[in-house]
Amino acid sequence: MRTRRSWAHPLTGVAAALVLVLAGCGGDGEGDASPTPTGSAGDAVPAERCRANRDAGPITYVTGYQYQASASILDPVAAKALGYFDEVCLDVTLQPGTGETAQNAQLVAAGTAQISSMSGQSDVIVNVANGVDVTAVATFGHVPIATLMTEPSVTDLKQLDGTTLGQKGALPVAIDGMLRAAGVDVASITQVVVGYDPSVLVRGQVQSLTGYKSNEPLTLAARGDTVKQWNPEDYGVPGSIATTIVNPAFLAEHRSAVEDFLRAQLRAYTYCETHGAECVGYAADLAQTGYDEDHNEQVWKTEHDLVDSSLPAGEVLGQIGVESMRSEADFLLARGQIEAVPDLAAVTDTTVVPALYDETGELRWPVR
């Protein structure tokens, strides 16, 4: 059952042999209740649903940033490598994103891609507020991914008044909200654009540095550097990780395909919980060169832990809610990031993910 819990994850992916020898769609065996990379095309859905999914045609999924081992990137990569998309009769192409989530939203709205990952619900809200027509169907984590790093000697954020802060082109709205909530005189801080080498902080070139919990702190720790992280959620700032958007027309015409894409993704997520190195290897194969597998294993572990620890009580993994979207929208409005809160009920389908689970909270696989 994938509802919020405080204990460690049980072992998943227990090996079991599938005794199905099938051709085409709609096998009639029960399969294995745990994710295993041994299924065949059409194993997980009835013949009629298989045909409907094939009729949806090729599906392009744009990742948030390349093949980084983040939530909503590593799990679709693994779903394809493990054959889960084949098992639900989907023809999925993975397209690496550039990190420009506005571009992802525009690709989906135009129908150039059918499904994509956004860094969180706030990205969706801003794009929708700017007139981009997409529908949010899933969210994995319910906590901001942004963090602010300082030297350990900083014990109060007000100590940053009059200092220099390094950021990547703009101060993340969650960090701005945290600083203001802590009583920091943000106007007194000199903001400079820095590259992607976080050692500028420990070298004293900046006194604080924005980043992602699953990236820069890991790089610094690997170097043996100790820094302090200041996290927006500790100051009441809302946020989220890994929100899935779809083209509204595609969702309306091919709902089963969207459902089964997410079903395969969620199954792969569970598999990667206890097979992280294997799943990172699939991403490394796609990236081909220059892929730091050790770092990406830490990225996955960090984001997986953030997703798991922030899952709201009584909800299933991936579930999205209008109210959680609204809390982020209200925050964005207060921070001047949007001029008005869009009709969130109209651009959020909260029913897709819960329908993938049975009454006990177990993911339905296979679909019968």
Question: How many distinct helices (H) and strands (E) make up the chain?
Answer: 14, 10
Are 247 and 345 within one domain?
yes
Are 150 and 293 within one domain?
no
Distance of CA 99 to the CA centre of its chain: 13
Say what the pLDDT of residue 41 is.
84
Say what the pLDDT of residue 368 is.
85
Last residue of a domain, one of 235, 250, 271: 235
Least confident of 33-42, 261-270, 294-303: 33-42
* Side-chain-facing half-sphere of 128: CA atoms under 13 Å: 26
Are 256 and 228 within one domain?
no
Per the CB < 8 A criterion, the answer to whether 159 and 183 are in contact is no
pLDDT interval class at 38 (50, 70, 90): low
Share above pLDDT 70 across residues of the chain, in percent, rounded to a whole number = 89
Domain count, the chain: 2
Per the CB < 8 A criterion, the answer to whether 143 and 263 are in contact is no
Tell me whether residue 1 is in a domain: no
Last residue of a domain, one of 171, 204, 235: 235
Tell me whether residue 257 is in a domain: yes
Say what the pLDDT of residue 326 is.
97
Rounded Cα distance between 136 and 218, Å, is: 30
Domain that residue 330 falls in: 47-143+240-356
Rounded Cα distance between 145 and 125, Å, is: 16
Own/partner pairs, 275-280, CB within 8 angstroms, 24+ separation: 275/13, 276/69, 276/300, 276/301, 276/304, 279/69, 279/74, 279/75, 279/77, 279/78, 279/81, 280/69, 280/74
Are 51 and 111 within one domain?
yes
Say what the pLDDT of residue 42 is.
86
Are 95 and 170 within one domain?
no
Are 133 and 52 within one domain?
yes
Are 230 and 82 within one domain?
no
Tell me whether residue 298 is in a domain: yes
Last residue of a domain, one of 235, 255, 280: 235
User: Of 179 and 30, which is predicted with more confidence?
Assistant: 179
Are 123 and 162 within one domain?
no
Are 79 and 56 within one domain?
yes
Express each pLDDT in 58-110 by its tens digit: 999 999 999 999 999 999 999 999 999 999 999 999 999 998 889 999 999 99
DSSP readout, 319-341? ---HHHHHHHHHHHHHTTS-SS-
State pTM to two decimals. Answer: 0.87
Residue identified by tokens 């420009």 is 100
| CATH number for position 192 | 3.40.190.10
Are 172 and 133 within one domain?
no
Tell me whether residue 367 is in a domain: no
Tell me whether residue 362 is in a domain: no
| Structure token pair of residue 156 | 């109060």
Kindly state the average pLDDT of the residues 24-49.
63
Are 229 and 283 within one domain?
no
Pairing of strands 228-230, 92-95: unpaired
Tell me whether residue 271 is in a domain: yes
Say what the pLDDT of residue 26 is.
39
Cβ neighbourhood burial of 153 (10 Å; 0-12, 13-18, 19+): exposed
Tell me whether residue 7 is in a domain: no
Residues 6+ apart with CB under 8 A from 96: 62, 63, 65, 66, 67, 286
Per the CB < 8 A criterion, the answer to whether 345 and 324 are in contact is no
Kindly state the average pLDDT of the residues 302-326.
96
Using only C-alpha atoms, what is the Rg of the chain? 21
Are 332 and 279 within one domain?
yes
- pLDDT at 32 exceeding the cut of 70: no
Tell me whether residue 41 is in a domain: no
Express each pLDDT in 247-297 by its tens digit: 999 999 999 999 999 999 999 999 999 999 999 999 999 998 899 999 999
- pLDDT at 18 exceeding the cut of 70: no
